[in-house]
Amino acid sequence: MAKQLLMGNQAIALGAIRAGVKVVTGYPGTPSTEVLETVAEENNGNVYVEWSVNEKSALEVAAGAAYSGARSMVTMKQVGLNVASDPLMSLAYIGVKAGMVILVADDPGPISSQTEQDTRHFAFYSKLPVFDPSTPEEAYTMIGDAFDYSEKYQTPVLFRPTTRLCHGCAAIETDSTVADKPVEGFIKDTSKWVIFPKTTYRNHIKIEERNPKIGEDFSSYKGNSLTGDGKKGIATGGVCYQYVKEALSMLSADGDCKLLKLATVHPFPETLALSFFDGLEEVLVVEELDPVIEKQLIFLCGKHGIKLTIHGKLDRFAPTAGESSVELCLSMLSKFLGKTAPALAARTAPPPLPVRPPVLCAGCPHRASFYTVKRAMKGRKAVFSGDIGCYTLGNAMPLDMVDTCLCMGAGITVAQGIHRAEPDTVNFAFVGDSTFFHTGIPGILNAVYNQTKIVVMVLDNSTTAMTGHQPHPGTGMTMMGEIAQKISIPDMLRAMGVTSVEVVDPLDLKETEAAVRRAAECEAVSAVICKSPCIAVTKPKPSYTVDAEKCTNCKVCIKQLGCPAIVKGEGKAEIDRSLCYGCGICEGICPFGAIGGEK
Amino acid sequence: MINCLLTGVGGQGTVLASKLIAQCAINEGLNAKTAETIGMAQRGGSVVSHVRIGEDIHSPLIPLGAADIIIGFEPGEAVRSLPYLKKGGTVIVCGKAIKPTTDSLSETSYSGEDMLAYLLSEEQNVIVIDGEEICRKCGSAKVLNTALLGAAAKSGTLGFSAEQFKSAMEMKIKEKFLQMNLEAFELGADAVDK
């Protein structure tokens, strides 16, 4: 088949289909989302695909399928594994029958995440094997290897790509064969599938006996390699291997040192690492996130009484945070190898560059929701707890309406803690529709049960917007393209015991403000659902314009809304027609009636 | 090896443009790699796409000072990415500035003209395109990417002909938007001679 341009995540998906995967579950999260989407798009009719309500549910569904002999994969971003860590830790003891891959995408930088956590630690913690591909091409075949190892050792395995691999594209030659993996079905065996202290003890012994064998197996795994020669050696893995290769080539130092590429850091391939050490005096470890390879090499030196200098993050030879790059590798490698990096062209300093923090899109209904809550609470002592999603961007000036943001679902519960510490505040919790289903529900139950007065603002834009518009239980669509029963957020709130539930259109500023005031006066937990679809799933309306005759340049529209389509013009406000979606909220706030829709 | 950096503001369509360039390479049997900004930064933030064509490419990202061409969808973003350009490289830039909310809220004033003047003073091969005018003629702000590609193709730096780009566009752009994009591509190419 001809080569096609595939994103790393697409390559992983096609590789999984080729490996005969039967059940794929997940929860959207940058940079992992496109893996599951691609499996759904390229579905040959033999794969069941679902967006689960959260990562814990997703991992458990995939586990059940693997118990039954169907190859399964679950996808998530790194923080998703925190949510799924409960089943992960137990499943590690139970094991699987058919191959099961837990795909967890890490995000060095971080570019679009709340943590810089390293999933390789989870591999050590849960005692599971982990695969770390370095290019989309390699990921395409490595995902198949991951299924094979999983089946060979009857254990789930972790597969950990990082952002630059997930969202990098490469020309890849794919084949359309699909491994024939008949599903045996669930065979009852309580000694195997039911976790008990006795089972855990017995399996713990087996796991500790098994892992050194997998490490030995990994020493000859084709994803790991040892090349070059010399007294200096570089150990690396993942996308950093590519940066190191590029830097070596720019320094004309290819083959001047030993180069160890590790695609499997747990169980650690000790035999391979020992042959890397052979003849070396000094080692540099290049890796993103935490010094995982570095610590393993230091451990190995101690274990075998080897005297070596090992540089990396621990001795601050390498930066401890942020993503790596060719430039960073050039600077580290030139120092390590005693070479001179090519000089860059000198330039004069540019004029001050515009600062562009991410903001809510022009036309985003969340802007109206935040604006009205801010207005309704003007002069009141109120704290606004936010959550994870597009609406985190309500923190940007001038809205400035996110006082806390921690993790999925935490806005609702953090608001309760603040209220207990400071009962005279009005505590608002903003939560999106997908986050409501993900982890918002237990927090609301907690507030109702413990009678903690908070106002829950559900910003329902009918999609999972930040990650690229995935369906969820409230949309009435599944990832298999089927129509499902729409789960009603107001009905759920009422069923959980929230007595004051109002549904409003946030673009109707007056109605929304009045509803927010009523909710804030309520003596029990109250909720306002601001229902208006994301601009990306609706057609734009005609754009609005500023009547230059009427505009007094008071800048109220700019200072109160922060809409990217409204800009400071020549002594007047201007609306950029290429950005305006026609939401019309600016018309409602202009004190001079200078903004209007197309006539 | 050809390194092309596309830079702009989230929502301007840099990703499709990078895919079209990579598709041209693949259609010619060449190796290609791209890297994109996806996620939170797409919401009005600075975005860059890296396209690398040729053998022996390792990093998905272009090293500093190695880009043969920068396609700037916005003048300030072209300036921000200028350290990626190699000596004597080409800059194709849309002249229209996109003012961020941070600028409208401040007393300072961000000016696209200052950015263009800086680019012209720093580099020899700078082609400024009136992307806004082309979009108006085609009736959509969404064709800025294909307009700039037309200009880039005409500059000769990418090494692909207009015909090669057009077949990539036929493969990657939906039928109902294709004609509009082909027109924008032509207008972009014409703008280089002006």
What amino acid occupies position A399?
Answer: L
Q: How high does pLDDT run on average in chain A?
A: 95
**φ and ψ at A595, to 5 degrees?**
-110, 135
Main-chain dihedrals φ then ψ at residue A276, nearest 5 degrees: -65, -45
Per-residue confidence (pLDDT) for residue B101, from 0 to 100: 85
Tokens representing A542 are 């005609």
Cα dist. A488→A121, A142, A429, A458, A499 in Å?
39, 41, 19, 12, 15
- Tens of pLDDT, residue by residue over A531-540, are 999 998 888 8
Residue B146 has pLDDT above 80, yes or no: yes
Query: Does B40 have pLDDT greater than 80?
Result: no
Distance CA(A268)–CA(A212), nearest Å, equals 8
Share of chain A above pLDDT 70, in %: 99
**Single-letter code of the amino acid located at B186:** E
Query: Who contacts A196 (Cβ-Cβ below 8 Å, separation ≥6)?
Result: none
Judge: B98–A563 Cβ closer than 8 Å, yes or no: no
Which residue of B101, B114, B126 to mutate against A (max A Cβ within 10 Å)? B101
Average pLDDT rounded to a whole number, residues A241-259 = 95
Q: Does B174 touch chain A (CB under 8 A)?
A: no
DSSP characters over A382-399: EEEE--SSGGGGGGSTTT
A394 contacts on B by Cβ (under 8 Å): none
Nearest residue on chain B to A578, alpha-carbon basis: B141
Q: Please name the residues between 34 and 73 in chain B that touch chain A, using a CB distance below 8 Å.
A: 34-46, 56-61, 63-65
A538-567 CB burial, b ≥16 within 10 A, e <16: eeeeebbbbeeeebeeeebbbebbbbbbbb
Residue predicted with more confidence, A572 or B43? A572
Rounded Cα distance between A523 and A452, Å, is 9
Alpha carbon separation from A451 to A386, A436, A446, B124 (Å, rounded): 21, 19, 8, 69
Q: Reading across the β-sheet that carries A382-385, which strands appear in turn? A: A382-385, A426-432, A455-460, A526-531, A500-504
| B chain contacts of residue A327, beta-carbon cutoff 8 Å | 63-64
Show residues of chain B in contact with A344, CB under 8 Å.
64-65, 83
* Across A396-423, average pLDDT: 96
Looking at the complex, report in whole angstroms how far the Cα of residue B155 sits from the nearest Cα belonging to chain A.
Answer: 23
Q: What is the mean pLDDT of residues A292-319?
A: 98
Which helix (H) or strand (E) segment holds residue A565: the answer is none
> Which amino acid, residue A434?
S
- Name the closest residue on chain A to residue B19, using Cα atoms: A5
Strand residues in B15-131 grouped as ranges (E): 32-35, 46-53, 67-72, 85-94, 125-129
> Contact B42/A358, CB-based, under 8 Å?
yes
Residue type (1 letter), A159: F
Q: Does A419 touch chain B (CB under 8 A)?
A: no
Say which residues have a Cβ less than 8 Å from residue B111's Cβ, sequence separation at least 6.
Answer: B97
SS3 A545: strand
pLDDT at A357 (0 to 100): 86
Please check whether residue A38 is in contact with residue A4, taking contact to mean a CB–CB distance below 8 angstroms.
no
Helix (H) or strand (E) holding A116: none
Query: Rounded to an integer, what distance in angstroms lies between the CA atom of residue A286 and that of residue A318?
Result: 8
- Check B22 against A327: CB less than 8 A apart: no
Position A528: which residue type?
A: V
| C-beta atoms of B104 and A361 within 8 A | no
- CA-based nearest residue to A585, from A365, A430, A378, A358: A365
Mutate to test the interface with A, among B43, B98, B113 (most CBs of A within 10 A): B43
Q: What local confidence, expressed as pLDDT, does residue B37 receive?
A: 78
A23-62 pLDDT, tens digit per residue, is 999 999 999 999 999 999 998 889 999 999 999 999 999 9
Residue ranges of domains in chain A, CATH in brackets: 3-218 (3.40.50.970), 225-337 (3.40.50.920), 365-537 (3.40.50.970), 545-596 (3.30.70.20)
Separation in Å, CA A236 to CA A250, A251, A273, A299, B97: 18, 17, 11, 16, 42
Using alpha carbons only, how large is chain A's radius of gyration in Å?
Answer: 27
Distance, CA of A60 to CA of B169 (rounded, Å): 43
- Give A440's DSSP letter: I
pLDDT at B99 over 60: yes
Bridge partners of residue A309, in order along the sequence: A282
pLDDT tens per residue across span A186-205: 999 999 999 999 999 999 99
- Provide the residue ranges of all domains of chain B, joining segments of one domain with +: 2-104+112-193
A562 contacts on B by Cβ (under 8 Å): 101, 105
- Cβ contact A358–B59 (<8 Å): no
Contact A545, A573 (CB under 8 A): no
**Closest C-alpha to A384, from A420, A412, A358:** A412
Q: pLDDT by residue (tens digit) across A83-139?
A: 999 999 999 999 999 999 999 999 999 999 999 999 999 999 999 999 999 999 999
DSSP classification of residue A263: S
Cis peptide before A31 (omega within 30 of 0): yes
**Which residues of chain B lie closer than 8 angstroms to A470, CB-CB?**
none
In B, which residues are within 8 Å of A342 by CB distance? 65
Asked whether the beta carbons of residue A326 and residue B34 sit closer than 8 angstroms, the reply is no
> For position A598, what pLDDT does the model report?
67
What mean pLDDT comes out for the span A537-557?
93
**Three-state SS string across A17-84, please?**
HHCCCCEEEECCCCCCCHHHHHHHHCCCCCCEEEECCCHHHHHHHHHHHHHCCCCEEEEEEHHHHHHC
Q: Residue B127's closest CA among B159, B152, B162?
A: B152
Q: Give the integer Cα–Cα distance in Å for A13 and B19.
A: 19
CATH of domain B2-104+112-193: 3.40.920.10
| CA gap A36, A21 in Å, rounded | 12
CA-nearest of A536, A544, A538, A540 to A581 is A540
**CA dihedral over B13, B19, B21, B27, signed as positive or negative:** negative
Region A407-422 average pLDDT = 97
Please spell the DSSP secondary structure of A122-134, one letter per residue. HHHHHT--EE--S
How far is residue A522 CA from its own chain's centroid? 36
Helix, strand, coil proportions of chain A in percent (round to 5)? 40, 15, 45
Establish if B138 touches chain A: CB-CB under 8 angstroms.
Answer: no
Q: In this predicted model, what pLDDT tens digit does every residue of A307-318 receive, in sequence order?
A: 999 999 999 999
Q: Is B172 on the interface with A (CB under 8 A)?
A: no
CA distance B35 to A164: 7
Q: What is the pLDDT of residues A380-395, one digit of tens each?
A: 999 999 999 999 999 9
Q: Name the percent of chain A lying above pLDDT 90.
A: 91
3-state secondary structure of B59: coil
pLDDT at A599 over 60: no
